[in-house]
Structure 1
Amino acid sequence: MAGAAAYTAQARGVLGTSDETQIRAIVPWSQGGGTDRSMRVTTPTWSELLGTEFVVENHPGGSTQVGGEELYNADADGSTLAMWNMPQMQATWLFQNAPYRSGDFDYLGTHHWDPTMWFAPPDSPYDDLEGFIEYARENEATVGITAAIGNTALSALLVEETYGLDLTIINMEGGSGVRQAVLADDIDAGVNQPWAFNPDYADDVTALGSHTSEQQELWPSAPSFGDLGLEEIPLVNEGLGQWKLVVLPGGVRDRHPDRFEELSETYAAVFEDDAFQARTEEQGGLNEIIDYRGPDETEREVEATAQFMEEYADVIENFIYDQ
C-alpha cells in the first residue's frame, strides 16, 4: 500500500473508526531511547490511518515495570496501548514480582528486533570484546546496562560468568543513559542495541561486538561474537537481542473484537506505508531491522521468550540479590 489515505477510508467505512477517541501510547522508558523513538516514528502514520490522535506518555522506571503497571491498570477499551520490550517485559514478572503475567495483555504485533551489542569510548585500549575481556582480567572495569533485568543485563552477566571476570555492572535505566555514558567516557563499556544506541554515533564510539553469530548490517564496523570466536558465551548462535512490540490491556480482544480488529489491521498497515518507511530510513536505518509479526505469532513469541528467560533465572537473580 503506497500511503495511509487509502486505508483510512477503508478503516472508517468498514471498521467503524471513531475519530473522537484519543489513544494513550505508553512508553515504559524515558524520552530519547529506542522504544520512545520507535513509538514516535510509528504514531503519525497510525494516527492518519485511524483518524485518531495518539498522545505518547513516558513512564520510565523499574526496568519497564512502572509503564507495565500503567498499562495493566488501564481500561481495556482500546483507548490505551504501549510499546514494550521483550525480554524486559517478561523479566518484570519473573524477577520483580510484577502483578501481571503474559495472559493479562493482548498483543497487536511486533515492531522490530534489535540485537544486543557492546560499545566502548573511542580511546579505549581495546577495539573488540575479546580485547575488553583481556583488559578486564587485569583492571577494574565498569559496564553500563539499560536495565537490571533483560537482554543487556543478561549479556553482561554471561560474559562475566563465562570468563570469570569481576565487572562492576551499573543499571542506567534506559538506552539514552548508556549512550551518554559511553560518549562521555564515564564507563569502560556499555551494553545496548545497535539501533537503540543510534548508528549516527558510529564514528564517536568503538563497537566491541554483537551478541550474535553473524555480523549485523546495521553496524558493519562491529564484529559478532561468532566472528571473534566467542561461541562459548551462551546464546551466541541463537542471537541475544530485544523485541519491541505493541501491547493492549487484556480483554480488548474478547470484549471489543471490532476495536481489536481495527487496531491490529491499521497497525499492520503502518508497515506498508511509504511515509512510515521513509521515516524509519531517516532514523538511523530502522528500516533495516523492521520485522512485523501479527497478533497470534506475537503472543507465541511472548510465551517463548518467557521460557527462555526462565532458563537463565539463576544468573539474573544472583545479580539482583547482590545489588
Structure 2
Amino acid sequence: MRHLSLLTALAALVAAPALAQDDWPSEPITFVVPYSPGGGFDEYARAVAPEMERILGTEVVIENIPGAGGQRGASTVYRADPDGYTIGIWNVPGLTVPQLMGQSSGYDLTDVTWIGNLATSRYALAVQPDSGYESLEDLCSMGEPFKHSDTGPASTSSVTARIAMSLIDCPIQNITGYKGSTDTIIGLMRGEVDATIKPIASLYNYAESGDVKMLMTLEDERSLPDVPTSTELGYEDFANFTLRRIVGGPPGIPAEIQQRLSDALIEAANSEAVQEWSESSNRPLDPVGYEEASAEMTELMDFYTQYKDVLAE
C-alpha cells in the first residue's frame, strides 16, 4: 500500500509541470524594458504588448527598470522564475559588453531563453544643423576628440561609435549619463555634444523637423534618399554595426512555453495594428522567431569578441 502511495506521489510530481504548461498563461506576463519610458525599446515593447495580450488571452504589463545601461533590467529578467511570466527586451550588442569584458552583469547571455527578434535597426550619424560639420571628416579633424552623447559605455550606440571610430582612427569622447536615446538627441540639440550615433528611426522625426541633421547612415544601401550611406562614403565596415531589439526570458523556460511566447510575439509584430504603428512611426520591423534569434545571438557574440580591446579602453 505504501509502495502504491509512493508511485502515486511520483506520478503526480512528473505530471505537475505538464499540467502547469497546459494551464499557461493563467496570470499576467511582465514585459521588462531596461530603460526609462519614451525611448525606442519602450516604444517597441508597448506596440506589441496589446496584441500579445489578445493572442495569449492574458494581460501583458510593461515594467520599466532603468539603470546601469540596461543591466539592471536585464538582470531582473535573468533572475526571474522560468515560468514564462517574465520576459524582457534586450539591447544587443550593448548588453554583450559587460559579459565580453568579464564584468559582473547579473546575467549570462548564453543561458537566456531567447523568444524572438523584433527588429534589426540601422544607425545614422547626426549633428546640429548649424554646427558647420558637413562630413565625418570634419568631426575627425577637429584637433581634439569629438564629443558623442550616450547613455553609458555598455549602450549599443556607444559600442558602435567606439568601434567604428577606432577603425578609422577618429578620436571620440563619449559623454555618458543620459537616461535614454531621446535624451542623448536632446543633448545634441542643446549643444552639449558635437554629434551622436543613434538608430535612424530615433533620429528621423528630429531630422524632419530640422532639429538635427543626419550626415550619413551606417548602411550599404540608402534607406533615406537624401542621406548618403557609410559605404558610399568609403566606410564599408560601418554597415556591420546594427541594433537588435531582441526579446528573451530567464534560463530554463520550458520549450512549449518558449514556442508559444515566440509565436505570439511574431503574430503580434505582424498584426495590422502593429504594422500600422511601424509605418506611421518609422519604426521598422523584421521579426524572427526564437530559433533564428538564438542563432543570431551566437553570431553576434563571436563578432564583437574580436573588438574586446577597443571596448576595454
What is the TM-score normalised by the length of structure 1?
0.83
Query: What is the aligned partner in structure 1 of residue 114 from structure 2?
Result: 107
Identify which of 262, 274, 278 aligns with 1:264.
262
**Aligned partner letter, 2:152:** A
Query: What is the aligned partner in structure 2 of residue 148 from structure 1?
Result: 153
1:293 counterpart SS class: coil
Query: What is the aligned partner in structure 2 of residue 189 from structure 1?
Result: 195
**Could you tell me how far apart the structure 2 residues matched to 1:221 and 1:132 are?**
20
Give how far 1:128 is off.
2.8
Identity %: 25
Query: What is the aligned partner in structure 1 of residue 7 from structure 2?
Result: none
Identify which of 61, 80, 90 aligns with 2:67.
61
**Could you tell me how far apart the structure 1 residues matched to 2:266 and 2:167 are?**
41
Q: Which runs of 5+ in 2 are unaligned?
A: 1-20
Query: What is the aligned partner in structure 2 of residue 10 from structure 1?
Result: none
**Residues 53-96 of structure 1, C-alpha deviation per residue, up to 9 Å, x if partnerless?**
11111111222111111001111101100011211122231223
**Residues 166-196 of structure 1, C-alpha deviation per residue, up to 9 Å, x if partnerless?**
4321123531221111222221101111113
1:227 and 2:232 aligned: yes
Identify which of 277, 280, 285 aligns with 2:278.
280
**Residues 188-220 of structure 1, C-alpha deviation per residue, up to 9 Å, x if partnerless?**
1011111133435433211021223332x2x44
Give how far 1:113 is off.
0.8
> Counterparts of 1:272-311 in structure 2 under 5 Å?
272-283=270-281, 285-286=282-283, 289-311=284-306
Query: What is the aligned partner in structure 1 of residue 11 from structure 2?
Result: none
Maintained 8 Å contact 2:184/2:196: yes
Give how far 1:306 is off.
0.7
- Is the radius of gyration larger for structure 1 or structure 2? 2
1:123 and 2:130 aligned: yes
Maintained 8 Å contact 1:19/1:52: yes
- Change in CA separation of 1:108 and 1:19 when aligned onto 2, cut-off 3 Å: closer
- Change in CA separation of 1:156 and 1:261 when aligned onto 2, cut-off 3 Å: closer
Q: Root-mean-square deviation (CA), in Å?
A: 2.1
Identify which of 132, 135, 146 aligns with 2:139.
132
Give how far 1:225 is off.
1.3
1:247 and 2:224 aligned: no
- Change in CA separation of 1:31 and 1:74 when aligned onto 2, cut-off 3 Å: same
Maintained 8 Å contact 1:128/1:223: no
**Could you tell me how far apart the structure 1 residues matched to 2:270 and 2:165 are?**
42
2:311 counterpart SS class: helix
Query: What is the aligned partner in structure 1 of residue 44 from structure 2?
Result: 38
How many pairs align?
Answer: 290
Greater Cα offset, 162-171 or 221-230:
162-171
**Could you tell me how far apart the structure 1 residues matched to 2:49 and 2:192 are?**
34
**Aligned partner letter, 2:174:** I
What is the TM-score normalised by the length of structure 2?
0.85
Maintained 8 Å contact 1:27/1:56: yes
Query: What is the aligned partner in structure 1 of residue 186 from structure 2?
Result: 180
**Could you tell me how far apart the structure 2 residues matched to 1:20 and 1:292 are?**
26
